[in-house]
Amino acid sequence: MNKKYALKNKYWQEIRQKILRADHILFFSDYDGTLAPFNPVPAEADALTEAVESLKLIAEKEKYYLSLVSGRQLSDLKNMLKLEKANYAGSHGLEIELFISDEIIYPFSEQNIDQKSKEIYQDIKEKYQAKAQLEVEDKGFGMALHCSDEITKKEIRDELNEKFAEKNYQVLAGRKIVEIRPQAWNKGKAVNFIAGKISDKFALENYLKIYIGDDRTDEDAFQVIDEGISIYVQNEDDLNTEAEYYLKDPHDTAELLKLLAGEA
């Protein structure tokens, strides 16, 4: 696909003009593969220092409202970044904490999941937790199976697709990972939920949404950006994405954040 490289001056100026025309910016970013380079041990996947420093500056800008949206659990995501005046959406937006509120919001109810789906989910979790060579990340609402190679990932994905066919959970394969999550919620819905809460709270008009992400789960967010700015972080994959712009890797993300923060 003919995508626009966001750091090419022509397209950066295009992005910049869109930002200048808006009175407010609702800025959303994924974490792994976007702010942090991939690490086989999730707990050691640290965001690039220069990216975090720019995010701190962006969060302090009166025009910007910063949100982090990740498949990680909310507590884990907050621990990795520790940014104030930021909204956090963990577990693909199944648990949300807004800087304007002291409570955690759970926009999706587990009551929407039928008993049979719950039983299959529990059986699958116990099966894979028993495999010593596979890291299972229990997120409460769902789980992530971290795979060491593509063959293992494909085998797990195929088995889970069969198990959860027409059930209330969905299976998503990303980079070295297979995730199981409730069918009725995704990052796109989380973005719209946060945007609605923030725009209502501050009576925002003429605002622009920006979303940066790198994986299949971020495609749901790209689809709800409308007239905003959607940016895909390519890493090692092709450019088969709904996003309008792209970056090559988290180092590119850090460079773009530096521009947005006004440091360059």
Query: What's the pLDDT score for residue 200?
Result: 96
Mind listing the pLDDT tens digit of every residue in the chain (264 residues)?
578 999 999 999 999 999 999 999 999 999 999 999 988 788 899 999 999 999 999 999 999 999 999 988 899 999 999 898 999 999 889 899 999 998 999 887 655 677 888 888 888 888 888 887 788 888 777 888 888 788 888 888 998 999 888 788 888 887 778 888 887 788 999 999 999 999 999 999 999 999 999 988 899 999 999 889 999 999 887 788 999 999 999 999 999 999 999 864
Q: What is the pLDDT of residue 14?
A: 96
Q: pLDDT tens across 141-156, in order?
A: 788 888 878 888 888 8
226-235 — which CB contacts under 8 Å span 24+ positions? Answer: 228/18, 228/26, 229/15, 229/18, 229/19, 231/6, 231/256, 232/3, 233/30, 233/33, 233/34, 235/33, 235/38, 235/175
In the chain, the domains with their CATH numbers are 4-108+185-260 (3.40.50.1000), 111-182 (3.30.70)
| Residue 61, burial from CB neighbour count under 10 angstroms (0-12, 13-18, 19+) | middle
Residue 186: partners with Cβ closer than 8 Å, 6 or more residues away: 92, 93, 217, 220, 221
Question: What pLDDT shows up at residue 263?
Answer: 60
pLDDT given for residue 264 in this prediction:
46
Distances in whole angstroms, Cα of residue 241 to Cα of each of 58, 115, 214, 220: 26, 35, 9, 10
